[in-house]
Structure 1
């Protein structure tokens, strides 16, 4: 009888140990990180067997600028968006943040007059602006950058002519000198360095954002009217 009791106790202990081991292995640590807006959360992260990432709800919510509260009566965690506050960091693509960086000199608004085109468009003044290459691609910020450059030219004599804005100085110099040859069906590939065109006809200013040889967008705001 005593032997049977001993075997029964041993069996129960083994079963309990096995169940505990299985439960403990439901989540594992593999060094996974959670980033919110480019910043790693300083909080514990676990991964379930099905690959689900488990971490602090509060840490994520607060990193997003939300308010977290505990509703004891409903046994519920409540997350509320902070409607009255708005914050920006350097990684966010926000209009206000971008303009601020422009004003602080993060993006260069310096221009260099290369000269008049000696080729077919002798009425064209070529201007180099190196800061354009740093502007986020395929965004309205490129148009904003172009607009600020055009305003910077102001009432200079060259504003009475057609002005082209270029992002590559060497290609702009080659274009002005007329020392280029067509190297593709659409013409000279160096023309891809053009990103803006300012024209003045009959007292009307027009500004275009050049996307490619065949495509351009009109920048219509204030004194700049559609072509």
Structure 2
């Protein structure tokens, strides 16, 4: 029972952490760019960034299969370089989790950077700071609450991803079986005790994360 319980928990945390790092880096980079620039088609680009937030998970999973599947140019390139397809692997679960979690990180980072006083950034530039120093020493610290909140929410979203993961990464015990997919299988097989343990663990983790977000913003 213990081994059956902890394997999906460990996998879920590992996948969510790796996906969270990717999402944090990409969210900071794109959030910074989109917060400070206006250009034709910006609304369209932002809509694309936020689309995974509202699309059904099955649609996200389908699109990932189309983009990274063995019949796609990207999928064939990955298979040639790494000598195996990305589908139904641990990395497929990371990609699925990152895609659905990215909008939360992006929106939080962008909102944080938009709230930074541009006069302070301008003063730092006048004093000789380059763009990297302005970003790391001024913009990020001033937007830190929003960034941390986005990181926590995106991690929680990655941890709870089910539909896209099931379609793109499968449900392989010890390899791609996360807590949400494990709950689905446990209920389907009638193992309600194990299902309840995973459900309560997810509720507990999610509750703690939301409490952290509330404390950061207050």
TM-score normalised by L of structure 2: 0.22
Instruction: Give 1 or 2: higher strand fraction.
Output: 1
* Larger-Rg structure: 1
TM-score normalised by L of structure 1: 0.21
Instruction: Give 1 or 2: higher helix fraction.
Output: 2
Higher relative contact order (CA 8 A, sep 6+): 2
